[in-house]
Chains A and B, each alone.
Chain A
């Protein structure tokens, strides 16, 4: 099925149901069975965009310049929009009647599958930008690969998101270069940020048994296949930014399996507060 109907009113939903009943050939497809691997794979993408969006949105009203405040908020907004599509599809694939909102607001830390890098604290503006750049470069390669997914639902979300992420990467690489190759102070901060964040990039390219089926079926790329292109972009930008890539190849890992740093709990406590305190609240 190419896209999800967006019912805006209760009576429209009733009409659709009545119509579906009148035309048996057009009933909604049954939830996909045996799609656990795809469900996991979708969470790994959707949870990463969700948690990064939340982190970036923490800057709203606090950025060093008005244009950057707006830029950060817009990036966060794009990522939240993409999250709705990824988690919406995950919920559909799961077939348990959950929604994108249920997945975002009613799971605990061990059920989240995001990369550890996105839950890193914002730090200073330089650290936020370096995290964004390292992520954007990976995100663009991932989406480019997903546009060829054997699952058309995955491919169409990727085709939508990739246009937005190309702008994210242009912005973050531009700023990384300007600050890296900037003043002594900005250079030092960007190098510190890179040193801190580099050990969190390896996880993007590590596979586990959950990656095997989607990769074999051509639904998702093998994570390791994205590394060469990512590294080429990252090296070129960091060279121009006069920053040195750390020699150490050590990689923190666990996020994709639900083993998180303590930071995720604090993010969820804030992000999920409303739905926990006032279950079912909406506006």
Chain B
């Protein structure tokens, strides 16, 4: 029994390891920064890692699972099960404060919480009329004079914006 216990790294250690696994699309932030690791637990001698997808069709999901598996197997975890959990659905509110700063430094404006689309016309019209209180800061010069180029950017989780001061195009990690 003692041998078995010694062979099982504690969960804090496992979380530490997972915090070193980068997101495959945005490698400056880790899977734990992104908030997609929902749970880690030992079930007997099997390590069960519960992961939630960001967007339901995100093609990085398969790579993320592979990266988790690779990282944990390298640390000697032999019995591993990855579980997919979709409820509660992932929200950008779960991106850590540290993760947000890493995004900004990388050139991606982090999500402005509470600004998720609801599909309602009122919000859309307000935004079109310039009455929006949604301020997206340019990650390079910090200007708030920015405009949306497209609701969908280089990945499903990002929108394309442009800074009208420094003229740089940039990605905004949109709020969901």
CB within 8 Å of B: which residues of A?
A: 2-9, 12, 15-16, 19, 22, 67-68, 70-71, 74-75, 77-82, 84-85, 136, 140, 152, 155-157, 159-161, 163-171, 173-174, 177, 233, 236-237, 240
Contacts and interface: CB of A to CB of B under 8 A. Distances in A.
A132 to B, nearest CB: 12
Contacts of A166: 116-119
Contacts of B83: 3, 5-6
Contacts of A68: 150
Nearest to A81: B57
A173 B69 CA distance: 42
By secondary structure, the A interface counts as helix
Contacts of A171: 151-152
Interface in B49-64: 51, 53, 55-59, 62
B112 interface: no
By secondary structure, the B interface counts as loop
Given A16-B46, A71-B150, 6 more contacts: A2-B85, A6-B82, A67-B149, A74-B155, A78-B56, A177-B128
B133 interface: no
Contact of B57 (A77, A155, A156): A77
A140 B119 CA distance: 8
Contact of B56 (A67, A70, A85, A136): A85
Given A3-B83, A6-B82, A67 B121 contact: no
Contacts of A6: 51, 65, 82-84
Interface of B: 43-44, 46, 51, 53, 55-59, 62, 65-66, 69, 79-91, 116-119, 121, 123-125, 128, 149-156, 160, 174, 176
Given A67-B149, A171-B152, A174-B128, A4 B84 contact: yes
Nearest to A156: B87
A160 to B, nearest CB: 4
A159 B87 contact: yes
A237 B121 contact: yes
Contacts of B150: 67-68, 70-71
Given A71-B151, A165-B119, A174-B128, A3 B57 contact: no
A67 B81 contact: no
B119 A159 contact: no
The 3 nearest A-B residue pairs measured at CB: A81-B57, A81-B56, A6-B84
A152 to B, nearest CB: 8
Contact of B86 (A140, A157, A164): A157
Given A9-B69, A140-B119, A157-B86, A164 B124 contact: no
B174 A167 contact: yes
